Amino acid sequence: MLSNAVRFLMVSAAASVVALGAAPADACSQLSSGALNFISAGTPSAAGAVFLTSVQKEEFWSDPDPIVDAVNDAANMSYYWGSTSPSSEKYYTEFTKPGAIVSLISNISNVAAGDVLVINKTVASGVQTAYGGHTVIVTGPAQQLTTALNPIYSGTVQWALPIADSTSSVHGCSTIWRDSRWTNTCSDFVAGPGTGYMRIYTDTSGVPVGHTWSVTSVSAGNYFPISSTTVPARPFVIGRLNSCPLPTPTP
């Protein structure tokens, strides 16, 4: 059963959004619903990519025998992702290489529950800062903001994207775009799995160009373009599994 807090966060916020018509069909309901069940059950998870890995193991290849389950999980993760516990950097590489088991979503209007957003690792060089990367599971369609929040850039459109992840960094504090890990109003944040919102910037045609960690008014230094030669960038992609669930590989 989903907690009341999680149920609340699954409801589309009514203020400051533009109606987009019919929402896209779920991309991979086992990932999105599995992520919410994972959170509702209070299952612990390390931050970042580990959350996606844990949900896949639980939803795709679960076996009642814990020994068999662990062996199968390790083998299947290695088969599909080249690692028993991929980092966000590894997921990003696997999402973007030729012949990937993932289709990249190039327009925000097509993003749906069960898609996965992966921010790549970056290293310090020139204007670029070091960042370990992050991975989230999308839990619903993006919602366009009718009133843009700072920082505002000409030629861009802002969207609130509902996500599930595991993190120690709160996705803002807002009565509309709330992070479920607050136990009180903007106090007593509990790190770990939870739901929240990220802000995606697109061009006027809907192609993603950058993001902020939360849907709140922040300084320009908290906005990260996908690519830049003048400010720190954090490349990200949004991908969809071509098969859901990923089947157990045939020997």
For 19-27, what is the mean pLDDT?
A: 59
For 140-160, what is the mean pLDDT?
A: 98
pLDDT at 7 exceeding the cut of 80: no
Q: Which pLDDT score, from 0 to 100, does residue 24 have?
A: 67
Give dist(CA 145, CA 108) in Å, integer.
13
* pTM value surpassing 0.85: yes
All structural domains of the chain with their residue ranges: 25-241
Find residue 210's DSSP bridge partners: 201, 225
**Residues 91-144: tens digit of each pLDDT:** 999 999 988 899 999 999 999 999 999 999 999 999 999 999 999 999 999 999
**Residues 74-90: tens digit of each pLDDT:** 999 999 999 999 999 99
Angstrom distances, CA of residue 234 to CA of 89, 122, 162, 176, 225: 11, 7, 19, 26, 6
